[in-house]
Amino acid sequence: MLLSIQLIYYPLLAAVGVPVNLLTMVILSRGKCGLSKCVTRYLVSMAAADLLVVIIDLILRQIPIIYRKLFAFLRHFPVCNIHAALLYAVTDCSVWFTVTFTFDRFVAICCQKLKTKYCTEKTANVVLGTVSVLSCSKNIFWYFMFEGRYLLSNNPWFCIDVTGVSTSPIWAVIELLHYILNPCVPFILILFLNVLTVRHILVASRARRRLRGHNSGDGPRDPEMESRRKSMILLFVISGNFIVLWVVFMLYSINRRLLYLARTSVILHPLFQEVGFMLQLLSCCTNTCIYAVTQAKFREQLKNVVKYPFTAIVKLIK
């Protein structure tokens, strides 16, 4: 049943994911969405990382697995260990870019003294570059963990592992640490930063209402609180989207490695892994919808980009 769904779901997700992330990058890069250069840099980088995940994970891994007969020729290309290292590196980038964006918004909202120094395009470039380098360096071990041959299965990996790796306690600990760093630590950091942000906004809102001498909803709107409210909505929807769509994959991955280490007797059905993959990959295609729902100027730019080919054709006809 699940395989029948995946046969339709994965190609459809790929057909949507590639153009959607490209559109997002183009629209945000034009700088007409009313966002600061710093925020724009983070969001463009997140879209670029998501696009790479769609290509390297969804198109080059999941689709060949579910259509393994059509892609049997891949077994003759000994590059699976390189593919794995790249896949996990871009996945790390996608996740940690979300964390760095969350931290940037936390600083912008809660740390006014640090805001002018940290929330700049230059700092964003340094942070994103550092995360990219660390993600690539961290995932080199997958190259040595796998052989070059494709397995074309998620049982549990899509490459044939080097002899002894799957039962080695050392490799089990290394892989467990990998899943702790992504997505466990990002989960905790995002939740922690969001709690602090909410607390600060609530305290600041009460203080500003007292200073302005009226209750919320009475009198003219406070532009400062409106700005914070919009930032908070964008931050929470992106963070919540990440948490909800990654939680199944995280629980299954940790459970599987704890089983190898004999640290748990709870066995999750492989169905959880497949559903985890489906939800995780969906998270790489949803940010455009989030921007469209929460950002009026992004909606306007999206309409302009979508209508452009049709208006150009009409002009040519006339």
Q: pLDDT grade, residue 34 (50/70/90)?
A: confident
**Mean per-residue pLDDT of the chain:** 87
pLDDT at 167 over 60: yes
- Bigger pLDDT: 14 vs 201: 14
Whether the full predicted model's pTM is greater than 0.85, yes or no, is yes
**Rounded Cα distance, 280 and 229, in Å:** 28
- Which range in 126-135, 167-176, 235-244 is most confidently predicted, on average pLDDT? 126-135
Residue written as token pair 């799957």? 166
**Rounded Cα distance, 21 and 44, in Å:** 9
- Provide the percentage of residues in the chain whose pLDDT is more than 90: 46
pLDDT for position 220: 59
pLDDT at 107 over 80: yes
Torsion angle, alpha carbons of 270, 273, 277, 283, to 10: 140
Instruction: Supply φ then ψ for residue 262, to 5 degrees.
Output: 60, 40
pLDDT for position 296: 84
- Mind listing the pLDDT tens digit for each residue in 223-264? 766 776 777 787 788 888 888 889 898 888 888 777 766 666
Q: For the chain, what is the total number of helices (H) and then of strands (E)?
A: 13, 2
Q: pLDDT grade, residue 213 (50/70/90)?
A: low
pLDDT at 217 over 90: no
Region 47-73 average pLDDT = 95
- Mind listing the pLDDT tens digit for each residue in 178-189? 888 988 899 899
Q: 172: number of CA atoms within 13 Å, CB side?
A: 15
